[in-house]
């Protein structure tokens, strides 16, 4: 078995979380990826890390684990660009149902 490259993922420069008035720096995660995966995808560790962050953000948004804004931040995208990306994959940017819209309209009358 060969050496397994380590890929570091960064949450992004703009990610700031305040906990009890303390500013937290972005976290760095390290995962092990077998070299065959990178070869199969024809990607460098950096390219793979960026793509992994993107797909994690899309998935976490799709399954309502992160808001649109937080998912865009995780992916390293501006919110508008992330919305365009979601549209390419037919992932709605709103969870509003037709029933919700009808109910809102009735409330406004």
Q: Which domain holds residue 88?
A: 6-108
Domain membership flag for residue 1: no
**In a domain? residue 91:** yes
Residue 7: predicted pLDDT: 56
Mean pLDDT by 10 residues, the chain (109 residues): 56 49 73 92 94 96 94 95 96 86 87
Q: Is residue 32 one of the residues assigned to a domain?
A: yes
Alpha-carbon gap, residue 93 to 68, rounded angstroms: 7
Please give the tally of structural domains in the chain. 1
Q: Is 25 contained in some domain?
A: yes
pTM: 0.69
Produce one character per residue of 3-18: b if its CB has 16 or more CB atoms within 10 Å, e if not: eeeebebebeeeeeee
Please check whether residue 104 lies inside any domain of the structure: yes
Model pLDDT, residue 31: 87
Residue 23's pLDDT is what?
65
């Amino acid at each position: 078995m060969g050496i397994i490259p380590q890929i570091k993922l960064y949450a992004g420069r703009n990610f700031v979380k305040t906990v009890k008035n303390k500013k937290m720096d972005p976290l760095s995660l390290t995962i092990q990826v077998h070299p065959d995966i990178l070869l199969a995808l024809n990607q460098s560790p950096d390219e793979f890390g960026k793509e992994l962050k993107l797909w994690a953000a899309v998935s976490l948004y799709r399954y309502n684990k992160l808001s649109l804004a937080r998912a865009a931040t995780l992916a390293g995208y501006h919110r508008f660009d992330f919305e365009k990306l979601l549209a390419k994959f037919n992932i709605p940017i709103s969870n509003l149902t037709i029933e919700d819209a009808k109910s809102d309209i009735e409330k406004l009358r």
